[in-house]
Structure 1
Amino acid sequence: MTIVYFVLPLEELGPDRPAVSWTLFALTLMSIALLLFLEVRDVLTDRPGTRPGVALPLLMCLSVLVFSGAYHALAREPGEFIGLTTRVDALYFTVTTLATVGYGDVTPKGQSARLVTVLQILYTFVFLTAAATALSRWLRVRLTARGREGKEDGAG
């Protein structure tokens, strides 16, 4: 996914095509959110055949890359960002925002950049936190079950 992020023609998006850019961003983010919701639901209801150990981390990483792509495209508009010029800068800003670290070296100045940053924070609170919680629950259940199996095998 990261390789695709670095080779996608993101330069085609941004200020030159705002309608396409915003539509693509919204549709992609809503699709990932729906997939995350469905995976979390499947984990919480113990649906057979659920593979959250694969799906949830991939969807979480994809979310980060979507926001990074949006920031990279937005940065092409003068005045939207200070300190964000490359895809690595965009990925760095996305991760520092996700981690709530915020070093201050990349700053959203324009209204669109601030809007996407607020959306990322809200998206993280709702979807990525739910996904991480579901994934940790799934792992805890699996590890507890393996621990019981090991004790039963050893006690037999």
Structure 2
Amino acid sequence: MLVIGLVVFIALVAFQVRSIVRSPFPGLRAVEALTTSVPLFLLLFASTYVVMAAMSASNFGGPLTHTDGLYFAVTVFATVGFGDVTAKSEAARLVVTGQMIADLVILGLAIKIIMGAVSRRRQPGGASGAQPPEEIHR
């Protein structure tokens, strides 16, 4: 389930990057892309944690509700780590470690894409050579 979800996530991000590059408003499109990609990413891991906890109570020290799974995924994403929900088994720790690595990649790529889109737009004529919208109407 997690692997299929990650493949779908990567396909979505690839589509969104392509759409950002082609957009007349790349900064706005980048923000829109983040508002759909990050929640999907978090829900993917939250679902995985709930399934893992249901498969074996020893994965997280007890069952997780959907809210608990989302809470834990967001806690890991935000690098807060309160310690109230913890990965107990080796399998759970490997999945959480995978999320941590993916979190860093996502954050790095998000910053790069947004800053790239903003700098692209700030260039005279943008990437397409057209005038920015505010100069067209003057």
**Same fold by TM-score greater than 0.5:** yes
1:126 equivalenced with 2:105 (yes/no): yes
In structure 2, relative to structure 1, the CA distance for the partners of 1:63 and 1:118 (3 Å cut) is same
Q: What are the Cα deviations for residues 76-119 of structure 1, in whole angstroms up to 9, with x where unaligned?
A: 11210036521111111101100111011110001221111011
Q: How does 1:12-51 map to 2 (within 5 A)?
A: 24-40=1-17, 43=20, 46-48=21-23, 51=29
What TM-score, normalized by structure 2, do the two folds share? 0.73
In structure 2, relative to structure 1, the CA distance for the partners of 1:53 and 1:138 (3 Å cut) is same
Gaps of 5+ in 2: 125-131
Q: Distance in 2 between matches of 1:130 and 1:119?
A: 16
CA contact (8 A) 1:80 1:108 kept: yes
What TM-score, normalized by structure 1, do the two folds share? 0.65
Gaps of 5+ in 1: 1-23
Q: Distance in 1 between matches of 2:102 and 2:52?
A: 18
Q: Percent identity of the aligned residues?
A: 33
**Alignment match of 2:65 (pick from 82, 86, 104):** 86
CA contact (8 A) 2:2 2:48 kept: yes
**Alignment match of 2:95 (pick from 116, 120, 123):** 116
Q: Distance in 1 between matches of 2:103 and 2:17?
A: 14
1:135 equivalenced with 2:114 (yes/no): yes
State the number of aligned residues: 127
2:79 counterpart SS class:
coil
Letter in 2 for 1:73: V
> Shift of residue 35 of structure 1?
2.2
> Shift of residue 28 of structure 1?
1.1
CA contact (8 A) 2:5 2:44 kept: yes
In structure 2, relative to structure 1, the CA distance for the partners of 1:48 and 1:149 (3 Å cut) is closer
Letter in 1 for 2:68: D
1:75 counterpart SS class:
helix
